Amino acid sequence: MNRILVTGGAGFIGSAYVRHLLAPEGYDGTAVTVLDKLTYAGSLARLRAVRDHPDLTVVQGDVCDAALVHELAGRHDQIVHFAAESHVDRSIADGGSFTRTNVLGTQVLLDAALRHDVRTFVHISTDEVYGSLPHGAAKESDQLRPTSPYAASKAASDLIALAHHHTHGLDVRVTRCSNNFGPHQHPEKLIPRFLACLLSGGTVPLYGDGQHVRDWLHVDDHVRAVELVRRSGRPGEVYNIGGGTSLPNLELTHRLLELCGAGPDRISYVPNRKGHDRRYAVDHSKITAELGYRPRTDFATALADTAEWYKRHADWWGPLFAAT
Ligand code: NAD
């Protein structure tokens, strides 16, 4: 039986990945252990659909806890590493926890993977490591130019992970995905935050001139791509994951306003985020050519479904939103 350790499995994307692994259709007997510190960003409610699955174990713990990580690595064949401090705004206010979890935590996991002969280590990264691009789309071989403390901590962890492949021959595979959206995303992130603002009768705080461009990918497409990389990717390789819908934040905001039946008077322009990258874009032709990846989700439908989910689940996001 294959045994996979999923770090950050109670987070937005990690939990979607765990639900995917354990979904009845296509379930192959894989045993899954979630290691999650359950920080403010973690929520076991995201795993409700699979909590009684006989092959799921949840361990509350820190990826920086070497004794715990070694003990777990000794019992698993593969590690899929999602755990991270993930919110750019928080990294600007206080970067220490980002370096600790994202850099040192990854180092602890890599040490344990090496020591215990873990077969595959999939390291989940982000397109933000490439920095802002005035035009074109980043390829995996492009230079990393991270600008926020969050992106810098992710870039550092990518390089450390890849160095473990180069130096020790550890089977490390790195993914770099664009912005995700979907149900269960913490209301500190743009789409759920704006939905929460609108659904609670407020205005949406839009940074600067609203012309910052992001590529939006549904979380289910990201999860499918990670699974392709885990199953069929090549050791030591980086795979960009994108191909969603590229939009300036202002246009995305108008779509969210429409979905909530609100007008442009509900936009409140706020001073730009410090160091705000203007535009991200990734070229995902490598994962398409090598592993047959293509996003399946239609953006307009998925955005409408996501808005519906937030309308129906104020009990989940309400307390989190109140605490932001
Ligand atoms: P998230 O903030 O929703 O979840 C992170 C999870 O990690 C939480 O459950 C949290 O409790 C856990 N965690 C934090 N510190 C930990 C620690 N020290 N030990 C153990 N667990 C810890 O994040 P997300 O949006 O699901 O992102 C998951 C991964 O995907 C991250 O590595 C992120 O960099 C990457 N990523 C995210 C996006 C996006 O749009 N959200 C896009 C590309 C890549």
Query: Is 253 in the same domain as 158?
Result: no
Choosing from 198, 226, 241, the residue where a domain stops is 241
pLDDT beyond 90 at 184: yes
Residue 194 lies in a domain: yes
- Token digits for 187? 């209301």
75 and 201 within one domain: no
Q: Which tens digit of pLDDT belongs to each residue from 187-217?
A: 999 999 999 999 999 999 999 999 999 999 9
Over residues 13-28, mean pLDDT: 95
Locate tokens 């019992």: which residue? Answer: 75
Residue 44 resides in a domain:
yes
Provide the annotated active-site residues. Answer: 127-128, 150
Count helices and strands in the chain by DSSP H and E runs: 12, 12
Cα–Cα distances in angstroms (integers) from residue 300 to residues 100, 181, 182, in the given order? 37, 12, 12
Inside any domain, residue 9:
yes
148, 13: one domain = yes
User: Can you tell me the distance from the alpha carbon of 120 to that of 142, in angstroms, rounded to the nearest whole number?
Assistant: 24
Q: Are residues 34 and 91 in the same domain?
A: yes
Q: Which atom of ligand 1 is nearest to the CA of 14?
A: 26
Q: Can you tell me which atom of ligand 1 is nearest the CA of 100?
A: 18
Average pLDDT over the chain reads 96
Residue with CA at minimum distance from ligand 1 atom 19: 62
Are 155 and 126 in contact by the 8 Å Cβ rule? The answer is: no
The average pLDDT across 239-268 equals: 95
Report how far Cα 120 is from the mean position of its chain's Cα atoms.
19
CATH number assigned to the domain comprising residue 300: 3.90.25.10
Dihedral sign of CA atoms 256, 259, 260, 266 in order? positive
Do 159 and 209 share a domain, yes or no?
no
Q: Which of 12, 59, 80 for a ligand 1 pocket mutation test, highest count of atoms within 8 Å of Cβ?
A: 12
User: Domain for residue 284, yes or no?
Assistant: no
Residue 176 CB contacts under 8 Å (≥ 6 apart), including other chains = 125, 126, 127, 129, 130, 140, 158, 238, 239, 240, 241, 282
Give residue 134's pLDDT band: very low, low, confident or very high (50, 70, 90). very high
- Do 112 and 13 lie in one domain? The reply is yes
Residues 273-278: contacts with CB under 8 Å, at least 24 apart: 273/88, 273/89, 273/92, 273/207, 273/208, 274/92, 275/92, 275/147, 275/148, 276/207, 276/208, 276/212, 277/128, 277/131, 277/132, 277/147, 277/148, 277/212, 278/132, 278/134, 278/211, 278/212, 278/213
Q: How far is the CA of 263 from the centre of ligand 1 (A)?
A: 33
With a 6 Å cutoff on the Cβ, whether 14 touches ligand 1 is yes
pLDDT value at residue 157: 98
In a domain, 289, yes or no: no
Task: Give the distance (Å) from ligand 1 centre to CA of residue 9.
Answer: 8
Q: Count how many domains the chain has.
A: 2
What are the residues facing 35 on neighbouring strands? Answer: 7, 59
Residue 114 pLDDT: 98
Rounded distance, CA 233 to CA 236, Å?
A: 9
Whether residue 301 sits in one domain with residue 166: no
My answer on whether 98 and 193 are in the same domain is no
User: What residues form DSSP beta bridges with 55?
Assistant: none
Show contacts of 165-172: CB within 8 Å, 24+ apart. 165/235, 165/236, 166/236, 168/114, 170/110, 170/113, 170/114, 170/118, 170/121, 171/119, 171/120, 171/121, 171/235, 171/236, 172/110, 172/121, 172/123, 172/235, 172/236
Question: How many beta carbons lie within 10 A of that of residue 42, not counting itself?
Answer: 22
- Domain-located, residue 281: no
Q: Apex CA 165: angle with CA 97 and CA 229, to 5°?
A: 80
pLDDT of residue 250: 96
Is the beta carbon of 106 within 6 A of some atom in ligand 1?
Answer: no
Name the closest-CA residue to atom 41, ligand 1.
Answer: 180
Residues 160 and 301 placed together within one structural domain of the fold = no
Average pLDDT over residues 140-158: 97
What's the 12 CA to ligand 1 centre distance in angstroms?
7
pLDDT tens digits for 293-302? Answer: 999 999 999 9
CATH assignment at residue 38: 3.40.50.720
| Cβ–ligand 1 contact at 217 (below 6 Å) | no
* Same domain, yes or no: 194 and 162: no
pLDDT at residue 22, rounded to an integer: 97
pLDDT single digits (tens) 259-282: 999 999 999 998 888 888 889 999
pLDDT > 90? residue 67: yes
Structure tokens at 89: 């705004």
Classify 115 as helix, strand or coil.
helix
Q: What are phi and psi of 183, to 5 degrees?
A: -65, 160
pLDDT digits (tens, 9 = 90+) for 300-315: 999 999 999 999 999 9
> Domain span at residue 24?
3-180+217-241
Band of the pLDDT at 243, cuts 50, 70, 90?
confident
What was the pLDDT predicted at 234? 98
On whether residue 47 sits in a domain, the answer given is yes
What band does 232 get if pLDDT is binned at 50, 70 and 90?
very high
Q: State the pLDDT at residue 272.
A: 84
Residue 83 shares a structural domain with residue 100: yes
Element (H, E) at 152: helix 149-168
- The answer to whether the beta carbons of residues 182 and 220 sit under 8 Å apart is yes
* DSSP code string of 285-311: HHHHHHH-------HHHHHHHHHHHHH
106 and 228 together in one domain? yes
Residue 230 lies in a domain: yes
